[in-house]
Structure 1
Amino acid sequence: MWFSTFSTALLGLASVAHGLPGLLPDSKLFRTKTPGGTEISAFKSEGTTVTLEYVTNSGVCETTPGVNQYSGYISVGKNMSMWFWFFEARNDPENAPMALWLNGGPGCSSMVGLFQENGPCHFVNNETEPRLNPHSWNEYANMLYVDQPIGAGFSFGEYNANSTVEAAPYVWLFLQAFFENFQQYSSRDFGLFTQSYGGHYGPEFARYFLQQNEIIADGRGIGEEINMVALGINNGWIDPKRQFKSYATYAHNNPYKQILNDATIDRFIDAYDEYCVPAMANCTELEGQEEACSRADYVCNQQMYFNLRIASKVDFNVYDVRVGADAEDPPETYTDYITRADIMKRIGARTRFAECDETVYAGFGDSGDDARSFAPSLIDVIQHNISTLIWAGDADWICNWQGNLWAANALDWSGREDFAAKSLQNYTVDGKVHGQYKAVDNLSFLRVYEAGHELPYYQPETALQVFKQMMQKKPLTST
């Protein structure tokens, strides 16, 4: 029912947004200025809810000569304005591929990834002004960062999605509007990279994009086919049933800080079997089962997250066990920077900034979305021959590498037996070991040493090498 009603409506809107002859006689692209003097490019259609408003070459963050950038808003429905920031590739942007980066949460801004992880600029030693990031992913690709769902980051309007399945069509519609206005970037090789709750977003969004491609190719809908070539998920929340158990095992045997000792590990494995497993057995679908899935999420988090942390009596940060719970690393310097009035004016932002929006988070929680496994969606993407990477910094606890490996090994795809049986081998960058990996056909797994939850922040050189290899549709390989 979801696909036949809601998605059909979105396809109709996308058909209008796509600018087919005769469909938009009353639409126009024009330039205007804000009261503060910032020049805004705007595309508006009087007959639809589609609008684009953005600033060209603000000079913020990316200061490499000749590299274009755009930042602003694209509507995905009435009173639904989604914030984006786009940076051309520093090298050969006319031919470079394109990648979309999404942070997780649910409800967290992709400005986290932009400023703290893989964007064109970063803050060094907690300085108040950013410097160019030499390992930015736009060294290789045209990079698009989007705040979604509505409410995350600088996005604003009506809260439009309370689950991953509900969020997917809006991101697809956003891309349709983006490619309509920036046609020079359409039809490129396209990669989706995401982290954390991106273990939900990545598989489902990629699957939805592929479904829409088939609809368009069959003539059942109108829009821009997205040339998916790669999906990357670092420290993702993919398969909760397996990953909740890894809270206990990783806490016991990680190489950095023992969180559960030999006397307490069995207690939490028993609690997992007694409480979490039966609760998760009632949450098996991507839609519906709200009460059962919410209950499963509550039970498993109570046993394996809250009770475990209390019982351990160990001070650790859930995103990087090497430091204490109150440590602020990566530093939050960027939030003060992008909420400055002068910076907001230059980039075209016009609302409060929510690094992680509590309303969005609560809505997803109430729907039970957190407890759902998106392994089926991920399998579908792999079977479409998309280069797929599951990777994780091995100092992260909350979406740790062991749980990610279990999720990857359990995927029921054509190469499952070979993949599950294959052992990990050293992964090197310029001859230096930075982790362990394995790859079979188009599926790869990588454990990255000495990296927390926001993997590219800790190991930027490794992250850039991995990103390039996946976007080139190559097997993950050492250098």
Structure 2
Amino acid sequence: MTPTRNPTSWAVVLLPILFVLFLPNPQLGLSLSSSSASVGPLVQQQLDRILELPGQSFNISFAHYSGHVTVNEESGRALFYWFIEAEEDPDSKPLVLWLNGGPGCSSIAYGEAEEIGPFHIRPDGKTLYLNPYSWNKVANILFLDSPVGVGFSYSNNSSDLLDNGDKRTAEDSLEFLLKWFERFPQYKGREFYLTGESYAGHYVPQLSKAIVNYNKAKGEQVIDIKGYMVGNALTDDLHDHLGVFQFMWSAGLISDQTFRKLNILCDFQSFIHTSDSCDKVLDIASEELGDIDPYSIFTPPCPSNNSQSNQILKRIRAVGHVNEKYDPCTEKHSVQYFNHPEVQQALHVNKNFAPAKWDTCSELVNSNWKDSPRTVLDIYRELIHAGLRIWMFSGDTDTVIPVTSTRYSIDSLHLPTTKPWRAWYDDGQVGGWTQEYEGLTFVSVRGAGHEVPLHKPKLALSLIKAFLAGSSMPSLQLISDS
């Protein structure tokens, strides 16, 4: 059952009654956004309400919504979202946007279904279980499939899927947020934070900058952005490559000869557009790595995904690995679940534009990416100066964007240290290490791979709690002998 909420306006109470009397039943998965009818944003909010998910055998104490928001009327570009309110007292909690990267990977597939969301998928691909470390314990979480062509996001103009890039992704995501706040006016003025991982290391700071600039142009905090946090994030091509090669070599995964060639032939290369000579030595490195999961070198790969492991150094994309107990095949479960017609109906997917086969990542989007700057460190400098709270975290068993890459990027900013390097703790055990700088905090997460909340969900929950509170990561708590 969903608890009674204190409404922000009389309409929030009255409109659901009107829906029952005069509008299609939300249980049928109908959404007027997929028809030619025009409805008000508050009406659409209630049409987006999810009453129950297929495979859900448990009750929940929070509301959640999903649907499409049109970000470009001319071409019909529409982004798909899934919004999950906080487990308790959502009116007092901040709003957090989560983005996965790729480019071309779904935040629904990874962020919600495998990492920080409450609804995780069992190996049967049909039933769900509650994630005990969901981030909606501390915040209202908004998941966005961006850009068009990713997940259930679509365009009326098929050529849009061949014309994605960093610039348009930031523009469309900003337009999404502005329209989403119209649909959910009770969240206007709420403290807003952005989070994400991998290629979202580009998306998150770029969208943060777009919001800051929009607020400046309007002369007010239209979106009350407070800060952002990114994990194992693509940040700067030079430092990212340097860190990847050094991490693989120091972990004993590649030969001395390959290490030297990587540093020579892939120097200053873009992760999105590499040269032929760089690709060849990356292939050699992949062979030397063997059949391991480069995203998490100490955990087993999914047997059917071994071929993907050999291509992973050429693509930055999120792959899932875990459920209640470690399961390296989580991505397969997501593909099965989100392809069920009844699941798509419950999520209010536009039937006219539903993909023939839903997948976790779009190779079409990834292979046709138009613009990807070699660095976003200039944005960091700008937003540090603007006073945003900025955190970077890193799972330390990832070879794709390893802890070494992130540390090289941070070092290049030449920020004064305010609190020196130290271990942080969770339940008396070292959870990782942290250092605080003027304008930025770095946190490593011990034993986590590329997707920190997937491999170390309890530690990730400690991370988001500290970030939202603006506090340091916890120190060792001395336990008395008594």
TM-score, scaled to structure 1: 0.79
Q: 1:381 aligns with which of 380, 383, 393?
A: 383
Counterparts of 1:1-400 in structure 2 under 5 Å?
A: 32-33=23-24, 37-40=28-31, 42=33, 54-60=47-53, 64-78=59-73, 79-111=76-108, 112-123=110-121, 128-157=126-155, 158=157, 159=160, 162-217=164-219, 225-254=222-251, 258-262=252-256, 264-272=258-266, 276-277=267-268, 297-298=274-275, 301-302=278-279, 305-310=282-287, 312=288, 314-323=290-299, 327=303, 329-330=321-322, 331-332=330-331, 333-349=333-349, 350=351, 351-352=354-355, 353-364=358-369, 367-369=370-372, 372-400=374-402
Where 2:275 maps in the other structure, the secondary structure is helix
Describe the shift of the 1:313–1:386 C-alpha distance in structure 2 as closer, same or farther (beyond 3 A).
closer
Superposed displacement of residue 394, structure 1: 1.1
Residue 21 of structure 1: aligned partner: none
**Deviation of residue 270 (structure 1)?**
3.9
Q: Does the CA-based 8 Å contact 1:32-1:42 persist in structure 2?
A: no
Shift of 1:308: 2.2
CA deviations on 1:265-299 (whole Å, 9 max, x unpaired) are 33433444xxx24x67xxxxxxxxxxxx976x335
1:454 is aligned to 2:447: no
Query: Quick one: which of 428, 434, 438 aligns to 2:435?
Result: 438
Q: For 2:447 and 2:240, how far apart are their aligned partners in 1? A: 20
Q: Unmatched 5+ residue regions in structure 2?
A: 1-18, 306-320, 323-329, 477-482
CA 1:164–1:97 in structure 2 vs 1: closer, same or farther (change >3 Å)? same
Deviations 1:365-396 (A, max 9, x none): xx351x62111112222222211111111111
Give the gaps of 5 or more residues in structure 1.
1-28, 219-223, 281-292
Whole-angstrom distance in 2 between the partners of 1:129 and 1:309? 35
Counterpart contact for 1:32–1:39, Cα < 8 Å: no
Aligned length: 418
Question: TM-score, structure 2 length as denominator?
Answer: 0.79
Structure 1 stretches of at least 4 aligned residues deviating more than 6 Å after TM superposition? 43-48
The secondary structure found in structure 2 opposite 1:425 is strand
CA distance in 2, matches of 1:384, 1:45: 42
Range with greater deviation from structure 2 (34-43 or 447-456): 34-43
The answer to whether the 8 A contact 2:423-2:432 is kept is yes
Alignment CA distance shift 1:323-1:461 (3 Å):
closer
Q: For residues 413 and 120 of structure 2, what CA distance do their matches in structure 1 show?
A: 36
The answer to whether the 8 Å contact 1:32/1:40 transfers is no
Cα distance between partner residues in 2 of 1:294 and 1:361: 8
Report the RMSD for the aligned CA atoms in angstroms. 3.2
- Distance, in Å, in 2 between the alignment partners of 1:120 and 1:162 is 30
